[in-house]
Amino acid sequence: MELVPLAPKCGVEIKGVRLAQAEGETLDAIRSAIYTHGVALVRGQDDFTPDAHIAFAKRWGGIDINNYFPLTDEHPEIAVVRKKADQETNIGGAWHTDHSYDQVPAMGSILVARLLPPSGGDTMFAHMGEAYDALPQGLKDEIDGLQAFHTADHVYKEDGIYAQTDMAGDLRGQGLKTGAVHPVVIRHPVTGRKLLYVNSAFTIHFVGKTRAESLPLLHRLYDAATAADNTCRVAWEPGSVAIWDNRTTWHNALNDYQGYAREMHRITLSGEPLAA
| HSE, side-chain direction, 13 A CA sphere, residue 72 | 16
Is residue 172 within 8 A of residue 162, CB to CB? The reply is no
Q: Could you give the CA distance from residue 210 to residue 205 in angstroms, rounded to a whole number?
A: 6
The domains found in the chain, sorted by start residue, are 2-269 (3.60.130.10)
pLDDT score of 171: 67
Is residue 40 within 8 A of residue 243, CB to CB? The reply is yes
Is residue 122 within 8 A of residue 254, CB to CB? The reply is yes
The interaxial angle of helices 24-37 and 50-60, nearest 10 deg, is: 80
Tell me the pLDDT tens digit for each residue of 157-184. 666 566 666 666 666 556 677 799 999 9
Q: What is the pTM of this model?
A: 0.94
Tell me the pLDDT tens digit for each residue of 69-125. 667 778 989 989 999 999 998 888 899 999 898 999 999 999 999 999 999 999 999
